[in-house]
Amino acid sequence: MSFITRKTFRLLQLRNLTYSACKIRQYSTKTKATFNEEESDKSKQTHFGFKTVNEEEKWKKVHEVFETVAEKYDVMNDAMSLGIHRIWKDIFIHRLAPTHGTKLLDVAGGTGDISFRYIDYLKNLGPAPENKQSSVTVSDINQAMLDVGKLRAQRQGYTKELSGVDVQWLCSDAEKLSLPDDSFTAYTIAFGIRNCTHIDKVLEEAYRVLAPGGRFMCLEFSQLPNSGMQWLYDQYSFQVIPVLGQLIAGQWKPYQYLVESIRQFPDQEKFKGMIEDAGFRQVTYENLTFGVVAIHSGFKI
């Protein structure tokens, strides 16, 4: 083989090796990018009941659930809890113990259950001093729930003119409230935080909008410390509640989701730790009805 031929052959070999190396690098880069995209997609997934869904999909599904059940929401609460939810909410407000001049933000409070109890509590304290204007802002991400609450407020006399308490209604996301910093002295959320995609963001927002010294309070379904009682409660939840939903509200799936969402929510101690991580201090909790629900409390200090 002549010198020119050998040189040409070597150049061809070098070109082929270079081409192969480039293809390998391209494949490796593409594979890595695909892997990263898949990992990113996984990291953006969350639970909707017992199902795994994308975060954006959960928001839509939860919104649909409460759009569907808004009109029968209070009736179903009575049926599912045998009316005990009313006692839980009464205890919740008594633990808050608001005074005249309190500025309350009630999140996920669309139908007004907590806000109306707050107004009643203030009425029972007697006439408010002239320089003490109490207020409540009812915030909910679902306009249908707020519409139900507004109608109830008008029918039952929970307006500023009749109650003396300034009542505002706000359609807003608990994870990104359209409210200024340090603007409330109390924050309540009852049976709502477990439906949020990012519980940590809800807690951070609660901390942000509360003024120093302000109090955070959450009423939520929890876990029974007794395994035998938890088993009985599970049987009731999964076998009875969806059936009641179908019979009373004509809806099975929304109430199946509500039961599943309760089981996915952190237990009392873990949730307490999450509240502390958000910056709250003096965090405590109290079990009601053996731990079926729990009241968590913390202060912005």
Tokens at residue 236, please?
């009731």
Q: Answer yes or no: are the C-beta atoms of 136 and 166 closer than 8 Å.
A: yes
Radius of gyration of the chain (CA): 27
Does 140 appear as a known binding residue? yes
Could you give the CA distance from residue 291 to residue 285 in angstroms, rounded to a whole number?
10
Strands 103-107 and 184-190: parallel
Q: For residue 176, give the DSSP letter.
A: B
Could you give the CA distance from residue 88 to residue 252 in angstroms, rounded to a whole number?
25
Does 111 appear as a known binding residue? yes
Q: Indicate the length of the chain as a whole number.
A: 301
Q: Answer yes or no: are the C-beta atoms of 192 and 109 closer than 8 Å.
A: yes
Q: Answer yes or no: are the C-beta atoms of 82 and 116 closer than 8 Å.
A: no
How many Cα neighbours within 13 Å face the side chain of 271? 28
Q: Where are the beta strands (DSSP E) in the chain?
A: 45-48, 51-54, 103-107, 135-140, 166-171, 184-190, 210-221, 281-288, 293-299
Does 188 appear as a known binding residue? no
Does 277 appear as a known binding residue? no
Beta-ladder partners of 196: none
Binding residues: 111, 140, 173-174
Binding residues for S-adenosyl-L-methionine: 111, 140, 173-174
